Amino acid sequence: MLFSEKNIPKLIILTPIFTIIILSTFVTSFLIDSQNSYFKSQSKILETRYILKQKALLVSQVNRVIAYIDYHRVKLADIGEVKLKKILTDYIDTIRYGDNGYIWIHNTDYYLISHPFRKKSVGKYDINLKDESGKFITKAFINIAAKNPDGGFLEYYWRKPNEKKISKKLGFVKLYAPWKWVIGSGLYMDDISKSIKEEKALLQERINKQIQTIILIALLFMFLVGILSFFISKNIINALNSYRKKVDENEATLKTKIEKAIEESQKKDRALFYQSRLAQMGEMLSMIAHQWKQPLSEISGIFMEMETAYKFKKLDSDYILECAKDGDRITDFMSRTIKDFKNFFKPDKKKERFCINVAIDEAMTLMGATIINSGINIQRKEQRANSFGYPNEFAQVILNIFLNARDILTQRKIKNPTIYLEIYTKGTKSYLRISDNAGGIDHKIISKIFEPYFSTKDKVDGTGLGLYMSKMIIEKSMGGKLWVENIKLGARFTIEVQNVK
């Protein structure tokens, strides 16, 4: 039997070790997922920055050519415009940058003035020039330059110099007004993609090293804590054996010693209770900690009762089975709590018909302990209502609004803090109103609270994305509406969704 007297020493040794392994695995997995998410976000940022950098390079190359022309147009004005243009275009034809970058020039009358790889077409009427997709690009170049004094960008398809391969190209053109020249420059997108891929590979390598470091630290931590737990457990077992020996040697004083041990255990229980009340849990696990607090105390009580029964020689198989059933009941509750959180935060794959009241109950279940501990009253006035969409995401919106209300009620130290919840239907719509008595939102910022990255909390406590994502879920994912307004007692959030019979 699992809880037999023979197995108790093994349980004392192995239980903390397995607990540390499970917690370390969970934290390590979370950190690895965070690193992977960081890689995805940084990859997008890297790609955007690199493309902007390449665009800036095109603008810089064209502006340098224009500055070069301006300088020599003044310096060599005495040699005549025709000869000067010939000297300048001969030089411009030699300019190269990047892997395949060069400069070309048209004038506003659609004649090709300069092109290092189309020498036979220089001086000819070039209005009918098309790219590989059939776009009249000479017209497009000149139109963009004419409409944008600072120049403009255009995407088209062109062959690389001395290659047959057709590539997508990003071009930049700008008008040089004194001579009515349209000066262009371009980069091939596959060259840009190649560089971005190399940058992403370097980023991935750095992320992989960080993940390897995290795993190594986690394994080292588990090893050290496992050894520590083993020796501590050994000491506990030795202490138990010592107590048993003393009891066997002095039966006359057994009752007194047991009463003293019980009194000391009760003091320890009270100390642990107050310590647990004062302990600060991380934001991510705070609600789970509230849900698990009572079950952990019950498990501790079961072990204490088993220890007492053992000392009184009452630790028989029936008693152990009864304790095991109680332990199974409690651990089943804790397992369901984790399952509730897992399912609650698991994104829905498809829309479905769901009960708004049930979704609210699920959110209230997860945050019930933290609301109660905050001393907040909940007043509900509701009628049964159904909708069509994503129930988990809808419940997350409710949870976010409730937690915001809790935070502001706690922060402002409101007397008799209360959150009001009202559900009703009207025609084809279902409405959910959540309000509080915290005094409302400052009118200077009420129009900004749904904006991304806007938060009234410290950077450590808030990201400014909660209400933004809530609005996206309701309005983009479910086709409803979410808005806020100040009423007499405080702020009121209203959710409007489709009513489904």
**H or E stretch including 482?**
strand 481-486
Which of 345, 373, 388 is where one domain is finished?
345
**Residue 281 — pLDDT band, cuts 50, 70, 90?**
very low
Report for 114-123, 190-199, 211-220, 325-334: range of highest mean pLDDT: 114-123
Average of per-residue pLDDT across 466-481? 85
- Residue predicted with more confidence, 379 or 213: 379
Task: Choose the weakest-confidence range: 170-174, 287-291, 296-300, 484-488.
Answer: 287-291
CA dihedral sign, ordered 19, 22, 25, 28: negative
Above pLDDT 90, what percent of the chain? 30
Regarding whether 65 and 147 lie in a shared domain, the answer is yes
Place of tokens 């009427």: 125
For 445, phi and psi rounded to 5 degrees? Answer: -120, -5
Identify the domain containing residue 431 by its residue range. Answer: 352-498
Residues 69 and 185 in one domain: yes
Contact 363, 312 (CB under 8 A): no
pLDDT for 461 beyond 80: no
Task: Give kind and range of the element (H or E) at residue 82.
Answer: helix 81-92
pLDDT range class, residue 468, cuts 50, 70, 90: confident
d(C-alpha 356, C-alpha 395), whole Å: 8
pLDDT given for residue 483 in this prediction? 95
pLDDT category, 460, cuts 50, 70, 90? very low
Distance CA 125, CA 230 (A): 88
- Output the pLDDT for position 277: 33
- Is 326 in the same domain as 370? no
Give pLDDT, residue 350: 79
Among candidates 263, 267, 264, 272, which has minimal Cα distance to 297? 272
Taking residues 163-191, report their average pLDDT: 88
Residue with tokens 């609600």: 287
User: In this structure, what token pair is assigned to residue 370?
Assistant: 């933290």
Q: Check whether residue 61 and residue 130 sit in a common domain.
A: yes
* 114-128, 280-294, 377-391, 472-486, range with the lowest pLDDT: 280-294
Residue bearing the bigger pLDDT, 406 or 271: 406
Domain contains 230? no
Domain count, the chain: 3
Whether residues 187 and 283 fall in one domain: no
Alpha-carbon 359 to chain mean position? 23
| Nearest one of 356, 367, 428 to 391, comparing CA atoms | 356
Q: What share of the chain is helix, strand, coil (3-state, %, to 5)?
A: 60, 15, 25
In a domain, 148, yes or no: yes
- Do both 285 and 381 map to the same domain? no
Q: How far apart are CA 439 and CA 491, in angstroms?
A: 7
Note whether residue 450 is domain-resident: yes
Q: What is the pLDDT of residue 456?
A: 67
- On whether residue 190 sits in a domain, the answer given is yes
* Residue in 251, 87, 62 with CA at minimum distance from that of residue 170: 62
Residue 190: predicted pLDDT:
78
Residue 243 lies inside a defined structural domain of this protein: no
Q: From CA 164, how far away is CA 338, in angstroms rounded?
A: 60
Q: Residue 494 burial (CB < 10 Å; 0-12/13-18/19+)?
A: middle
How high is the pLDDT of residue 8? 65
Tell which wins on pLDDT, 54 or 121: 121
Helix (H) or strand (E) holding 354: strand 352-355
Q: What is the mean pLDDT of residues 373-384?
A: 88
- pLDDT (mean) for 180-204: 79
Same domain, 450 and 360: yes
pLDDT surpassing 50 at residue 276:
no
Q: Of 209, 215, 212, nearest to 25 (Cα)?
A: 215
DSSP at 421: E
Is there a domain that residue 472 lies in? yes
Residues 436 and 419 both lie in one domain:
yes
Segment 408-416 shows an average pLDDT of 91
- Say which CATH number the domain at 163 has: 3.30.450.20
Give the pLDDT score at 278. Answer: 34
Radius of gyration over alpha carbons of the chain, in Å?
A: 36
CATH number for the domain that contains residue 488? 3.30.565.10
Domain assignment of residue 163, yes or no = yes
- Summary count for the chain: helices (H), strands (E): 10, 12
Binned at pLDDT 50, 70 and 90, residue 280 comes out as very low
Describe the crossing of helices 356-373 and 286-311 by its angle, rounded to 10 degrees: 60
Question: What is the model's pLDDT at position 168?
Answer: 86
Q: Which of 87-91, 114-118, 125-129, 476-480 has the lowest mean pLDDT?
A: 476-480
Q: What's the pLDDT tens digit per position in 108-117? A: 999 999 999 8
Largest CA distance in the chain: 125
Kindly give the residue spans of alpha helices, DSSP state H, lying in 346-435.
356-373, 391-411
Q: 312 with 380, same domain? A: no
Could you tell me if residue 242 is inside a domain?
no
**Apex CA 144: angle with CA 139 and CA 145, to 5°?**
100
**pLDDT at 271 exceeding the cut of 50:** no
What is the β-pairing status of strands 181-188 and 103-107?
Answer: antiparallel
Tell me what pLDDT residue 301 has: 66
Q: Which of 345, 364, 396 finishes a domain?
A: 345
189-249 helix and 286-311 helix, angle to the nearest 10 degrees: 20
Could you read off the pLDDT of 233-270 as tens digits, one per residue?
Answer: 677 777 767 766 775 676 667 677 777 766 774 554 34
Asked if residue 89 and residue 56 are part of one domain, the reply reads yes
- Decide which of 318, 345, 372 is a domain's last residue: 345
Mean pLDDT across the chain: 79
Give the Cα separation of 304 and 295 in Å (integer).
14
Taking CB atoms within 8 Å and a gap of at least 24, the contacts of 143-148 are 144/173, 145/173, 145/174, 145/175, 145/182, 146/108, 146/175, 148/174
Give me the pLDDT at residue 344, please: 46
User: Is residue 315 located within the same domain as residue 175?
Assistant: no
What local confidence, expressed as pLDDT, does residue 138 receive? 93
pLDDT reported for residue 312: 77
pTM of the model: 0.37
448 and 338 assigned to the same domain: no
User: Any bridge partners for residue 424, and if so which?
Assistant: 431
Q: What is the pLDDT of residue 289?
A: 56
Long-range contacts of 303-306 (CB under 8 A, 24+ apart): 304/265, 304/269, 306/3, 306/8
- Counted residue by residue, the chain has a size of 501
* Lowest mean pLDDT, pick from 314-323, 330-339, 391-400: 330-339
Mean per-residue pLDDT for 293-310?
Answer: 70
Q: What is the SS3 assignment for 439? A: coil
